[in-house]
Structure 1
Amino acid sequence: MNITQTSNTSSSKKYNLVARARIYAIEAHSRINHRRKYSFEPYDVHLKDVVEIVSAVTDDEEIIAAAWLHDVVEDTSATFLNLEQEFGSSVAQLVSEVTDVSSPANGNRATRKALDRAHLAKASWRGKTVKLADLTDNCRDICSHDPEFAKVYLTEMSGLLEVLSDGHPVLFTKAMELMHKSAEALSLPLEVITAFQGIKRTNQSEFFHPDRTSNLFLKTFMARDIARILPSMDFPPSGTATDLMDKQKVPAVGIRHDGIVRAYVIQADPLQERTFRSDQLVDEESSFAEVILALTKHKICFVRMLGTVSGIITRDDIQHPFVRMWLFGIITMLEMQTTPLIERLWPEGTWTALLSKSRLEKAQTLLEERLRRNQQTTLLGCLQFSDKIQILIQNKEILNDLGFQSKRIAKRVCKDFESLRNNLAHAQDIVTHDFTQIARMAIRIESERH
């Protein structure tokens, strides 16, 4: 093969990898209607910006592919295993390096950012290069739209830059210059920028209050209630691992070193030993919310019992009756909170002005039927869950407290939650179509608890 042929082959390979990563990332974010926080533009606008920043300093196709994919595990239903199968272990590793490992269960924002910073410090120069591009684009966006939060972001950015100095030197220099320029524009003295200052979160609406949802459901159900036994074998892994997985009907087998499970293999690659990631492990007393958070990044979650990894949970285990009971109970309690809150904010039925005539007529028909059956209820009690949320999000404090960027997004998400509730009630599959809503609920619950 001559030099020209080699060049053409290399170029084709690069195009294929980068093009596939681009399509995969855009489709993954589009499926959940992911948009930028301030501009509401499709999220791929951010991805394109990050890729352009990276492409200006390198033609490494794996780095560029990782730039497209850098948020898919953190924000969508994709897992690291998905990326490894689609794009290879190197690209999956780069995405892993720039994906946050913390969860709300780790504590307040300052604590979580410290954990993520420590994780990022261990990244390769290529991973840090992707992160520098991400920081740069986010800094521009936040500082131009939200000066108040920009002060917090710049504080955290300064801490991250301390561990990103061995990323691409051009991008590191530009990120430092942008941080200084942005801080100056906000009249924020750089000497007072110290990393990991927390944000005090207010909860003025008292909706989704942890006291009302966590006391029973979050303490009663634990990871050990749904975990299956993780079969294991001594190092080195062998072809018998596949037989063991088939026999036990599990997608992984633990690998013992000196009698202790320290790694694992999977069905697709039974001879390749894999190490456990910290965000892939939960304790046996971890809440279902913590388990679900782990499963947002990985297809498999491992459970530590009595000091050793001996349990396994997959996304399919979310179909377990205990998890369905837990989810349905939380949704029910949330719905129960809406009625007194509406009555307090819109007394004497003034909330009726916020609903359409057709929705009110439907509730009125249901009210008449229930009264005919001698059931004690009110017109408000006959509204659908989505109707009640439609009323509540008219209050700006509640809209903000729920973390919605607009009423339109709030309405769409609430319809999705109603779909989840209906699928739970009718014993339908809740993993294939509802996992995003389940993950959103888990994130919210853990945020409230911590």
Structure 2
Amino acid sequence: MRGTANSAAPQHCHYTPKNNMGYQLWVSPVTGYRRKGTRFSALRKIFIDNITARNIYEPLLCCPVHSHAHDAREALRIRDFDVAGVKETEGGEVVGYVQAVDLGDEDLGKYVKKITSDLLISDSTPIAEIFSVLTEINFAFVISGKHISGIITKADINKPPVRIYLFGITSLFEMHLNAWVKHYYSDDSWVSEVPGQRMQEASKIYELRQGNNQDLSLIECLQLCDKRDLLAKSQQFRKDFDFSRRSFDSFVKDLEKIRNELAHSQYSIIANIEWPRLIEIISSAEAFLINSDIKVDNIAAEGKDFQDLLI
């Protein structure tokens, strides 16, 4: 059930409402068709079809099985690696692996571990699936063709291809929140729900962007926390998307933390969030976007809202 209007946009921001949120981002003003790239399935397809483990894995450092553990430990230290492959002969197949933390002062063969199937992934594994792969293990060996040639660790999610995927998720998520704020607060009734100072800040941003000839709406000038609070207040939104107020608040706060790490962190985006929670939040964001896409299309097909998003 959509909200009812109880307020109008403040006049000082010179805001002219549009019929849908993020109009120029969602829909072509010429054709009226939903733009490519506004569905999560389109984003995910890019990273399933084109961006895979081969784009982020590191070549596997390998040591001879008959060498001394001290030499392997030093080779790992110099490269700041934790794991090395082990070969019986130079140019031969990888027969096992060692971890720096285990290495003592004996022959390397004493510390070799078997590479089990759960530690192996193909170089064609999509980046979108690597998060779940690394949920149970700290690293995975990468198979190219028939040979083990590389390794992926949790540190590799800091690389640009993974950051781009995560940034795409957070950007799409906020775009969808824009649409749902408009849907559940019809006739811009959300304006009266935003605290005055927050509304003034959004109005300033809106006027600045209008001055720069950026055709964006006032809702898009709100901070993510404002959109979170608006939708957390909406009982119908929480019911439709199966959230409690607390769970939605916690979910968006953690997703915002990930977004901020992506924007500001020069190295690790997981320094301030535990890996299991990161995986949980990313999975929840993906599920939300899939569900949101379905709901938008269904509501539009029924003629209740979002009609201009239909192709």
Per the normalisation by structure 2, the TM-score is: 0.65
Equivalent residue for 2:156, pick from 299, 317, 321: 317
Aligned twin of 2:168: 329
Seen in structure 2, the aligned counterparts of structure 1 residues 403 and 298 have a Cα distance that, compared at 3 Å, is: farther
For residues 376 and 330 of structure 1, what CA distance do their matches in structure 2 show? 23
AA paired with 2:255? F
AA paired with 2:190? W
Equivalent residue for 2:76, pick from 245, 259, 264: 245
Seen in structure 2, the aligned counterparts of structure 1 residues 231 and 372 have a Cα distance that, compared at 3 Å, is: closer
Seen in structure 2, the aligned counterparts of structure 1 residues 281 and 354 have a Cα distance that, compared at 3 Å, is: farther
Alignment of 1:66-105 (within 5 A): none
Aligned twin of 1:440: 280
Seen in structure 2, the aligned counterparts of structure 1 residues 352 and 275 have a Cα distance that, compared at 3 Å, is: farther
Give the match's secondary structure for 1:282. Answer: strand
Aligned twin of 1:413: 251
For residues 403 and 214 of structure 1, what CA distance do their matches in structure 2 show? 23
* Correspondence 1:214 to 2:54: no
What are structure 2's unaligned runs of at least 5 residues? 1-37, 104-109, 291-311
Where is the helix percentage greater, Structure 1 or Structure 2? 1
Contact 1:212–1:333 at 8 Å: present in 2 too? no
Equivalent residue for 2:147, pick from 292, 300, 308: 308
Map Cα deviations across residues 130-181 of structure 1 (whole Å, 9 max, x no partner).
xxxxxxxxxxxxxxxxxxxxxxxxxxxxxxxxxxxxxxxxxxxxxxxxxxxx
Alignment of 1:162-181 (within 5 A): none
Aligned twin of 2:86: 255
Seen in structure 2, the aligned counterparts of structure 1 residues 361 and 261 have a Cα distance that, compared at 3 Å, is: same
For residues 197 and 170 of structure 2, what CA distance do their matches in structure 1 show? 25
Contact 1:302–1:312 at 8 Å: present in 2 too? yes
Per the normalisation by structure 1, the TM-score is: 0.47
Map Cα deviations across residues 318-352 of structure 1 (whole Å, 9 max, x no partner).
22122222221221122222222332333321233
Contact 2:59–2:149 at 8 Å: present in 1 too? yes
Seen in structure 2, the aligned counterparts of structure 1 residues 222 and 403 have a Cα distance that, compared at 3 Å, is: farther
For residues 279 and 443 of structure 1, what CA distance do their matches in structure 2 show? 21
AA paired with 1:268? V
AA paired with 2:184? L
Percent of aligned pairs with the same amino acid: 27
For residues 141 and 241 of structure 2, what CA distance do their matches in structure 1 show? 31
Give the match's secondary structure for 1:250. Answer: coil
Alignment of 1:11-410 (within 5 A): 210-235=40-65, 238-239=68-69, 240-256=71-87, 259-270=92-103, 271-395=110-234, 399=238, 404=243, 406-410=244-248
Deviation for aligned residue 1:267: 0.4
Contact 2:178–2:227 at 8 Å: present in 1 too? yes
Instruction: Decide which moves more: 224-233 or 300-309.
Output: 300-309
Deviation for aligned residue 1:401: 7.2
Contact 1:296–1:439 at 8 Å: present in 2 too? yes
- How many residues get paired? 241
Give the match's secondary structure for 1:285. Answer: coil
RMSD across aligned positions (CA): 3.2
Seen in structure 2, the aligned counterparts of structure 1 residues 299 and 336 have a Cα distance that, compared at 3 Å, is: same
What are structure 1's unaligned runs of at least 5 residues? 1-207
Give the match's secondary structure for 1:286. Answer: coil
For residues 257 and 407 of structure 1, what CA distance do their matches in structure 2 show? 58
Seen in structure 2, the aligned counterparts of structure 1 residues 313 and 371 have a Cα distance that, compared at 3 Å, is: same
Contact 2:184–2:237 at 8 Å: present in 1 too? no
